[in-house]
Amino acid sequence: MRALIFGITGQDGSYLAEFLLQKGYEVHGVMRRASTFNTSRVDHIYQDPHADKYVFKLHYGDLSDSSTLRKLIYQIQPDEIYNLGAQSHVRVSFDIPEYTANITGLGALRVLEAVKDYQEDTDRKIKFYQASSSEMFGATPPPQNENSVFYPRSPYGASKAFAYYMTRNYREAYGMFAVNGILFNHESPRRGETFVTRKITRGIARIKAGLDKKLYLGNLEARRDWGYAKEYVEAMWLMLQQPVAEDYVIGTGESHSVKEFLVAAFQYAGLPDWEKYVEIDQRYYRPTEVENLIADTTKAKNKLGWTASTKFEDLVKIMVDADIKLLGSEK
Ligand code: NAP
Ligand code: GDD
């Protein structure tokens, strides 16, 4: 089996690549050219092109660049494509809405269109996974499942909703095996440093090491359904192994506030007086907020046999431990 991953250098892309390699896949990934190294999450699985068994291959490309992604699909001839590439930061999407729509929204369409043409030209089939998001539910009250109404509250959420509907449309219009995994927030030690969980655990490590005195945050009242990213990539793969292409909600079924995460993380790190270190800064608030997300994962449980094993308390511990260790080794 051959898989092509857009967004391989991201949190999920790196876990998915590891997972598929363990399953015996040949894994191809698309990375952006950057002036600094952007492969730190996959460096540990990087292979020299001259290796005997060369099964992990990186290619330059960008979701804004149809001709290159089309060329890659024709050259690689993957059995499965996972589109995890996105401008994925909700707050940033208010600053760069057009770019976000182009990459997070239109990027998915560019891949779908290339897959459609490839299938028509070659008579081969490609299964397509779209990284849809609980952000699409936005203001719709929890719990949210596959039938809940979308009410996006950000350019990011609206762009993901566009990509979601295009994925469904290509499934219905052209009979493509195209699925949406509607994933709720999932975190890990590989989470980008500006998402709130990682910002907190990294901030704690720096405060403990005496490198920072304060941690500046925004809205502490928002609630999220936080799971462990390493487990969620299995659900992505399972969706593509089903006899019929369908969309699935993936989460833990629990919701916690940012404040709860903050308190649990500071306490676990041995700093129970968290208020000494945390300041609220308006710049981290969003013009419109998503207040509460809780996944109803009944369908995933019944059809995929998938449930989240790592819950809130364990996730906090994994992330705090990892950031304290990382800072120690950097020092
Ligand atoms: P992430 O760490 O931000 O990774 C995003 C990936 O997309 C990175 O590899 C990034 O490359 C790549 N990318 C960005 N712009 C691109 C472009 N113009 N062309 C090609 N690739 C581009 O995100 P993640 O947490 O792994 O999430 C994976 C996907 O799931 C994203 O689509 C995200 O929106 C979606 N999602 C995430 C969550 C979550 O809680 N993590 C929940 C629901 C849905 P660089 O490394 O070069 O920046
Ligand atoms: N990033 C950030 N930074 N968020 C903060 C901060 C801060 O300093 N302070 C409070 N928050 C609040 C945000 O307002 C939001 O309500 C919550 O923390 C979570 O923010 P993020 O961690 O940035 O994640 P997100 O929920 O907006 O988006 C993530 O999850 C989506 C799935 O629901 C991203 O991974 C998206 O790509 C993903 O689709």
Q: How far apart are CA 147 and CA 156, in angstroms?
A: 20
The CB-side HSE value for 307 (13 A sphere, CA atoms) comes to: 7
Indicate the pTM of the whole model: 0.98
Q: Is residue 273 part of a domain?
A: no
Nearest to 103, CA basis, from 91, 123, 127, 87: 87
Q: With bands split at pLDDT 50, 70 and 90, how would you rate the model's confidence at 21?
A: very high
289 lines ligand 2 (CB under 6 A): yes
Residue 249, domain member (yes or no): yes
Closest CA to 232 of 153, 295, 150, 325: 295
Distance 242 CA to ligand 2 centre (A): 31
Atom of ligand 1 nearest to the CA of 156: 34
Catalytic residue numbers read 133, 135, 156
Residue 202 placed within a domain: no
CB under 6 Å to ligand 1: residues? 6-7, 9-13, 32, 34, 38, 62-64, 84-88, 103, 131, 133, 183, 185-186, 192
Task: Please choose, from the candidates 20, 254, 229, the residue with its C-alpha nearest in 3D space to the C-alpha of residue 142.
Answer: 254
Distance 274 CA to ligand 2 centre (A): 20
Is 331's pLDDT higher than 80? no
- Residue 240's CATH number: 3.40.50.720
Tens of pLDDT, residue by residue over 192-223, are: 999 999 999 999 999 999 999 999 999 999 99
What is the number of structural domains in the chain? Answer: 1
Cis status, amide bond into 287, omega within 30 of 0? no
CB 78 within 8 A of CB 69: no
pLDDT tens column, 34-93: 999 999 999 999 988 898 889 999 999 999 999 999 999 999 999 999 999 999 999 999
Q: Is the CB of 93 under 6 A from ligand 2?
A: no
Domain range spanning residue 6?
Answer: 2-190+226-253+294-310
Residue 181 lies in a domain: yes
- Tell me if 172 is assigned to some domain: yes
On whether residue 40 sits in a domain, the answer given is yes
Q: pLDDT digits over 227-270, tens only?
A: 999 999 999 999 999 999 999 999 999 999 999 999 999 999 99
Residues in contact with 241: Cβ distance below 8 Å, sequence separation at least 6, in sequence order? none
> pLDDT confidence of 330, banded at 50, 70, 90?
confident
Q: How many CA atoms lie within 13 A of 306 on its CB side?
A: 25
Please tell me the distance between residue 69's alpha carbon and the centre of ligand 2 in angstroms. 29
Q: Is residue 79 part of a domain?
A: yes
Is 108 within a domain?
A: yes
What's the rounded mean pLDDT across residues 7-29? 98
Between the CA of 289 and the centroid of ligand 2 the distance, in Å, is 9
- Report whether residue 278 contacts ligand 2, using a CB cutoff of 6 Å: no
